[in-house]
Structure 1
């Protein structure tokens, strides 16, 4: 693909100005688009048909030529940009120079559950974009049928979340619903048992009944699930054999989802 970098978009080009605004949730909602950066995320967006436009610097065009070729086959518009425009679009200190404008990819909770899922990850009030993206990536890797962000959570379509998901945002169904109690009701109506991680849980993970459709509740990074843990059918503890007092959110989720996936395959 040949691009004319002599007439590349600058940081003052209206299309770049508008794209940069998409780092704000309100702007994403108004535009019906979101912005992502990086090789894995852009590659996944192109291959799944979510990307509508690509912005790329001259150096990135050489480095990621295979993605641009695929974009051509998918009728994705590719726009050359200057390095300064790339820094304007980026939310990182060192930018890759590769960005994509995407259509919204969030599902509704009902649509995810209509597929009769066997394993669902339910991050509750997740505040850190990096953790949200990692949870999406982990859920995808463990074969979960969906990720449902419940409560007052970070926006799954934020660029930091998309980057941390390493493309998994476009591979596994992801939903967001502010009403936690409604989410729990829909999970039960769909026939899923609801398990919650808790340091004082009544059942060890090794003894939990995981060979049935399961939704895992994962709490907020700072204060966990709090009283919401009591809403679960079973509170599960992960035994710690070393001197660490606890596990971080992403690590606990990885262990629980791995054990569930293994039990469901048995």
Structure 2
């Protein structure tokens, strides 16, 4: 059992909370039983080691079995060691180290019906929630464009609750590259912005029923005029009450599901 919270090995895992370390090592941390289960179930080849405390938690047997089935090293650690490794203040007893991956842009758009493009999205909770909503809505991929947050940031990984491992993820591309790939694949790009045309009109025209890539902009500034010009159309959600607007994650969830409904009608 690994019991020294100050050991070099523990420090190397803890360092993965930093973007620089993730990029240089090509690895990231996955915290919590739900996320670790999904990693082992959907992307076992990426998992390198699972660190878990000893106990009778409901998830323990399943995580142990999945790690064994995948041939992934399982290390028992003390709660103090796990706390020193984890990014969270109160870790849930299990953490994994996995290799990062990237899906080629053209591959993500090939045959796609629904794509979410995050442009300059900085908040990890928003990014993770949009990715989770994209997964739930049956999207084919999520693209992190521009200076968007790293999808392997620990807070993003946690907020996806495992959805990160269900979808192709594209990183380190410009919005121009993403929209060009969409056009090449015959996918219509729709910019979500309050300065756009009414969503219901586009829905009535059947725009949402085809192959669609939604572009979601920065939480504070939205999409610039130049950003919107890269999309085929700019659309806005109607506001029926007195709210000034919806936050990014909520609006994205509604738009992704609205498109999924139209495509399945």
Q: Name the TM-score, length of structure 2 as normaliser.
A: 0.93
Partner of 1:251: 250
Q: Matches of 1:156 and 1:215 in 2, distance apart?
A: 18
Partner of 1:118: 113
Q: Is the contact between residue 9 and residue 16 of structure 1 (CA under 8 Å) also seen in structure 2? A: no
Partner of 1:4: none
1:200-259 C-alpha deviation (Å, 9 max, x unpaired): 312334543211110000111111112212322111111111110000001101111111
How far apart are residue 157 of structure 1 and its match?
0.9
CA RMSD of aligned residues (A): 1.5
Partner of 1:3: none
1:185-213 C-alpha deviation (Å, 9 max, x unpaired): 11111111110112131233454321111
Q: Say which SS state the counterpart of residue 70 (structure 1) adopts.
A: helix
How far apart are residue 98 of structure 1 and its match?
0.6
Q: Say which SS state the counterpart of residue 259 (structure 2) adopts.
A: helix
Q: Say which SS state the counterpart of residue 30 (structure 2) adopts.
A: strand
Within 5 Å, give how 1:52-71 maps onto structure 2.
52-59=48-55, 63-71=59-67
Q: Matches of 1:206 and 1:90 in 2, distance apart?
A: 47
- State the aligned residue count: 259
How far apart are residue 165 of structure 1 and its match?
0.4
Runs of 4+ in structure 1 off by over 4 angstroms are 60-63
Q: Matches of 2:115 and 2:173 in 1, distance apart?
A: 17
Partner of 1:164: 159
Which ranges of structure 2 fall in alignment gaps of 5 or more residues?
A: none
Q: Matches of 2:59 and 2:232 in 1, distance apart?
A: 50
Within 5 Å, give how 1:117-266 maps onto structure 2.
117-205=112-200, 207-208=202-203, 209-227=207-225, 228-266=227-265
Q: Matches of 2:127 and 2:249 in 1, distance apart?
A: 9
Q: Is the contact between residue 3 and residue 80 of structure 2 (CA under 8 Å) also seen in structure 1? A: no
2:98 maps to 1:102: yes
Q: Say which SS state the counterpart of residue 196 (structure 2) adopts.
A: coil
Q: Name the TM-score, length of structure 1 as normaliser.
A: 0.92
Which ranges of structure 1 fall in alignment gaps of 5 or more residues?
A: 1-6
Query: Cα distance 1:205–1:15, how it changes in 2: closer, same or farther (>3 A)?
Result: farther
Q: Say which SS state the counterpart of residue 195 (structure 2) adopts.
A: coil
Q: Matches of 1:205 and 1:141 in 2, distance apart?
A: 22
Partner of 2:27: 33
